[in-house]
Structure 1
Amino acid sequence: MHFAQYYLDCLSQASYLIGDQRTGRAVLVDPRRDIDDYLRDADEVGLRIELVIETHIHADFLSGHLELARATGATIAFGEAAATGFPIRRLRDGERIRLGAFEDGSDGESGGGSGGESGGEGVTLTVLATPGHTPESICLVIHEHADDAVPFGVLTGDTLFVGDVGRPDLLSAAGHSPCDMALRLHHSLHDKLMVLPDATRVFPAHGAGSACGRNLSTETSSTIGDQRRLNYALQPMPESEFVRLVTAGQPATPGYFAHDAALNRDGHPLLDAAPLAALTLEEARTARDEHGAALLDCRPLAAYTHAHLTGSLHAGLATRFAEYAGSVVAPGTPIVLLADPGTEAEARLRLARIGYDRVLGHVPDPAAVLAQEPTLTTRSRRIPFDQLPSLRHQLIDVRNPAEYEAGALPGARNIPLATLVDHITELDRDRPVVLYCRSGNRSVIAAALLEAWGFADVRDVVGGYQAAVG
């Protein structure tokens, strides 16, 4: 068996290539949109990607199933409950995908006979319908040999994470109540996954930092036994307590999630690799003023706060760039990048991974350009915590709800960064606004958003809540 995990730190997202090296048949599970690594690796080990499986309709990134189908001719597969705008293979609960057998049923060694469902030596995947995170969610049990008593592992998608379980609330606007989905998730976890042997490895679709859960581990794999012992959501408890636990305190949902879910369900244009246009500062400002483009500064926080183009937004490439950009830029908005030399292609790719394809171009070497136009630049207004009492201000905590509930500055109102754009009209433009987060990164992004909306007096707390409480 060939098994490879591809973990994308900037999105906390994992995809998997599984193949049988005797037959050369392979599947790719939950792929990202840029597919070159998968194609190269499959070719190097002599595998043909025949099937692209999605464990569910993703909301936090734009999947590469269409790109892979175009490049390899692979069939796209989802759980049986999925409704898509393109042809798919529907995977039934209990269905077995036998990579160790050729299409005529023969195995990879003898050329015939022993590849039946009750035996055979080849790599086999078994589909488990595990609704809860979404109605069509599935998990895939991997057997290196079809008759192994203990599976090699299980790909758990967004049903089970290391240290957490999938959030059941993302579809609340689509007619599925979080409580109903949580009950379905409880059934899927205990009746489908927790019955697997303790030694079964667990390979989830996400890790720490993902907004698809609230308590995800930095570990990218585990075992069923370890999760049975250590995962807070899998401890013995009444169903009602499980529902309460998994529906409370979830991270705020970034605005692009619904956009990505729709594109993953209905179809999207293929990834465009055309060169990125270089724009002058004047052309960038014209794009903003006449065409509604967002000017997105991708430079490190220190460079941005020292001097940035007035009215520009900020999301540093060294952070969760795509997620933060998707929190302050509406889907479909044209974008002009202000990125350090040599980083503009990476910024564009990360935006494409969440379906933000309308990147008009970039301003080369923005620091040098802005140094020549001081009247067009602004320096961020950052204050230490001890200056707060001297201001008659609106204090906004842009952390997630669970962070706020664990401790907040007196008088602070919680508006998570992911939802700040939806609450801007509730803020008083005539009073100073002071923002803070955990360490001072999200607050700078939030301050940039308010400045772009015309707020005249916006400040953020240097070092954030950590600095304030010591």
Structure 2
Amino acid sequence: MHFAQYYLDCLSQASYLIGDQNTGRAVLVDPRRDIDEYLADAEAAGLRIELVIETHIHADFLSGHLEAARATGAEIAFGAAAETGFPIRRLRDGERIFLGRSGSDPQPRPGAQSGSESGTEPGAESGAEPGAESGAESGAASGTESGSDPAPRSGVTLTVLATPGHTLESICLVIRENPDDDVPFGVLTGDTLFIGDVGRPDLLSAAGHSPQDMAARLYRSLHTKLLALPDATRIFPAHGAGSACGRSISTETSSTLGDQRRLNYALQPMPQDAFVRLVTAEQPATPGYFAHDVALNRDGHPLRDPAPPAPLTLDEALTARDTQGAALLDCRPAADYARAHLAGSLHTSLDTRFAEYAGSVVAPGTPLVLLAASGKEHEARLRLARIGYDRVLGHLPDPAGVLAAAPELTRRSNRLGMADLLDRLPLDPVDGLQVIDVRNPAEYAAGALPGARNIPLAALADRLDELDPARPVILYCRSGNRSLIAAALLEAHGFTDVSDISGGYTDPANPA
């Protein structure tokens, strides 16, 4: 068996390539949009990607199922409950996908995968993607069980488990190196089960499904499906630490079911109602782009254009801002941005969770002009494309030189130390100071400055009307990254007296 996990730290996202080395058949699971790495690895291993499987309709990134299907000719598959705007194969609960050989299969191994992302048609519409909707199993390209072939099967086999809870169409994939293995090699758990956590059940609340209803479904999926597998079964989730799809996901990218049964707080023995209360409390705020990505992943989207962003002059950038509503997005390190930046520009550094934070402060569909360190503009565009932010008009080469040549357009961030803030506390309503904690609710609940209000960064753009732009604002987070991003957002919306804590929050009662 060929098994490869691809973990993308900047989005805490995992995708998988699984193949049978005897037949060359392979499936690609939860791919990102930049697919060349998968294609190169498949070709090197002599594998042909015949099926692209999504464990669910993702919210936190724009998946590469359309790009992969166009490049390989593979079918696209989702759980049977999925509703999409393009043809799919529907995978039913209990269905088996055979990548190995039956007794009637010819012995020669199929050829390797060919094609690359650069051979796709940038901007092509998703309606033309390959793949046919099928509610029945077939013995076609994927080797899916048909029931009509009595010949014995051997080799890599995937079994579909319908596991609603995070979303209605969520599935997990149990992997066996041979169909009759008692202990599976592992299980791809998507966003149903993470290492140290479970998938959040509240992302569908706006679509008529309450978090409590989805949490109850998740409880049943965990206890009737996943926890029925042997303890030695390895777990490979779709996300790791830092993802907003869970509350306290581990930094580990794999585990075993036995370890999770012992260590995962959400898998401890408890009745369903207790589980529902537990997993619906203190979930992190969801970035504004999540609903946008759900729609694109469900309905279809143009293929990614891999071309680098075009260089622009300062005058062209300002004209785009004034006539097209473009946002100036400064992608440089925090220290460089704080030292000097264009007035009204937004900020999120490539050194942090760049795409997620950009999707928190920039509305989907907004045209963008990038200010990135020399040679970093292509990376910035790629990472934005991974969340479906494709409207990049261009970039300003040599931002430092541009700023030096236009001092009248340049601003400096007002960054304070923790001691500076403590000098202005205890808070007195008379002085009008607004202290805002932009961390997530669980971080805030664990300890915060007296009198500080919690408005998570992911929610700030939608809650600006709760703040008074005529009064001073001080923002803080854990390290100073999110607070600087928040300060830039406020300044871009006309707040004139904005500061943030450069080193992040330190509990005054326990400075160590």
TM-score of the two chains, using structure 2 as the length reference: 0.89
Query: Against the structure 1 CA distance between its residues 135 and 386, is the aligned structure 2 distance closer, same or farther, given a 3 Å change threshold?
Result: same
**1:430 to partner: Cα distance:** 1.0
Counterparts of residues 111-150 of structure 1 (less than 5 Å) = 119-150=152-183
- Alignment check: 8 A CA contact 2:310 2:394 kept: yes
Is 2:487 aligned against 1:447? yes
**1:110 to partner: Cα distance:** 11
Is 2:359 aligned against 1:309? no
**1:118 to partner: Cα distance:** 9.3
**1:276 to partner: Cα distance:** 1.5
Cα deviation, 1:371-430, whole Å, max 9, x if unaligned, reads 121111111001122323436410110000010111110110100000101111121111
Is 2:383 aligned against 1:383? no
Unaligned runs of 5+ in 2: 111-144, 425-430
CA distance in 2: counterparts of 1:211 and 1:281, whole angstroms? 35
Is 2:274 aligned against 1:241? yes
CA distance in 1: counterparts of 2:150 and 2:464, whole angstroms? 59
Alignment partner, residue 371 of structure 1: 404
Query: Against the structure 1 CA distance between its residues 22 and 394, is the aligned structure 2 distance closer, same or farther, given a 3 Å change threshold?
Result: same
Is 2:45 aligned against 1:12? no
- Alignment check: 8 A CA contact 1:384 1:461 kept: yes
Cα deviation, 1:289-325, whole Å, max 9, x if unaligned, reads 1110010000000000011111000000010000000
Q: What amino acid is the match of 1:287?
A: A
Query: Against the structure 1 CA distance between its residues 232 and 119, is the aligned structure 2 distance closer, same or farther, given a 3 Å change threshold?
Result: farther
CA distance in 2: counterparts of 1:109 and 1:68, whole angstroms? 25
CA distance in 1: counterparts of 2:214 and 2:57, whole angstroms? 15
Q: What amino acid is the match of 1:136?
A: E
Alignment partner, residue 294 of structure 2: 261
Cα deviation, 1:242-267, whole Å, max 9, x if unaligned, reads 00110001000000000000000000
Query: Against the structure 1 CA distance between its residues 386 and 86, is the aligned structure 2 distance closer, same or farther, given a 3 Å change threshold?
Result: same
Is 2:121 aligned against 1:88? no
CA distance in 1: counterparts of 2:150 and 2:21, whole angstroms? 19
Alignment partner, residue 437 of structure 1: 477
**1:105 to partner: Cα distance:** 5.3
Structure 1 vs Structure 2 CA RMSD = 1.6
Alignment partner, residue 420 of structure 1: 460
CA distance in 1: counterparts of 2:57 and 2:416, whole angstroms? 43
Query: Against the structure 1 CA distance between its residues 415 and 108, is the aligned structure 2 distance closer, same or farther, given a 3 Å change threshold?
Result: farther
* Helix, strand or coil at the partner of 1:4: strand
Alignment partner, residue 341 of structure 1: 374
Cα deviation, 1:176-211, whole Å, max 9, x if unaligned, reads 100010000000001100110111100000000000
Return the match for 1:361 from 375, 394, 410. Answer: 394
CA distance in 2: counterparts of 1:273 and 1:195, whole angstroms? 44
Alignment partner, residue 246 of structure 2: 213
Alignment partner, residue 450 of structure 2: 410
Q: What amino acid is the match of 1:423?
A: R
Query: Against the structure 1 CA distance between its residues 302 and 118, is the aligned structure 2 distance closer, same or farther, given a 3 Å change threshold?
Result: farther
CA distance in 1: counterparts of 2:472 and 2:94, whole angstroms? 59
CA distance in 1: counterparts of 2:238 and 2:72, whole angstroms? 23
* Helix, strand or coil at the partner of 2:402: helix
Alignment partner, residue 292 of structure 1: 325
**1:462 to partner: Cα distance:** 2.2
Alignment partner, residue 458 of structure 1: 498
Alignment partner, residue 38 of structure 1: 38
- Alignment check: 8 A CA contact 1:119 1:147 kept: no
CA distance in 2: counterparts of 1:304 and 1:466, whole angstroms? 23
**1:368 to partner: Cα distance:** 1.6
Alignment partner, residue 97 of structure 1: 97
CA distance in 2: counterparts of 1:447 and 1:285, whole angstroms? 21
- Alignment check: 8 A CA contact 1:107 1:121 kept: no
Query: Against the structure 1 CA distance between its residues 83 and 310, is the aligned structure 2 distance closer, same or farther, given a 3 Å change threshold?
Result: same
Number of residue pairs aligned between Structure 1 and Structure 2: 466
Return the match for 2:193 from 156, 160, 165. Answer: 160
CA distance in 2: counterparts of 1:33 and 1:117, whole angstroms? 39
* Helix, strand or coil at the partner of 1:26: strand
* Helix, strand or coil at the partner of 2:462: helix
Cα deviation, 1:447-470, whole Å, max 9, x if unaligned, reads 000000010100001212137552
Q: What amino acid is the match of 1:344?
A: E
CA distance in 2: counterparts of 1:110 and 1:452, whole angstroms? 59
Alignment partner, residue 195 of structure 1: 228
Alignment partner, residue 68 of structure 1: 68
- Alignment check: 8 A CA contact 1:107 1:122 kept: no
* Helix, strand or coil at the partner of 1:316: coil
Alignment partner, residue 329 of structure 1: 362
Worse overlay, 205-214 or 120-129: 120-129
Unaligned runs of 5+ in 1: none
Q: What amino acid is the match of 1:394?
A: Q
Is 2:139 aligned against 1:106? no
- Alignment check: 8 A CA contact 1:58 1:260 kept: yes
- Alignment check: 8 A CA contact 2:55 2:172 kept: yes
- Alignment check: 8 A CA contact 2:418 2:506 kept: no
* Helix, strand or coil at the partner of 1:32: coil
- Alignment check: 8 A CA contact 2:449 2:507 kept: no
CA distance in 2: counterparts of 1:260 and 1:275, whole angstroms? 22
Q: What amino acid is the match of 2:394?
A: G
TM-score of the two chains, using structure 1 as the length reference: 0.97
Q: What amino acid is the match of 1:78?
A: F
Return the match for 2:435 from 395, 407, 417. Answer: 395
- Alignment check: 8 A CA contact 2:95 2:159 kept: yes
Is 2:385 aligned against 1:352? yes
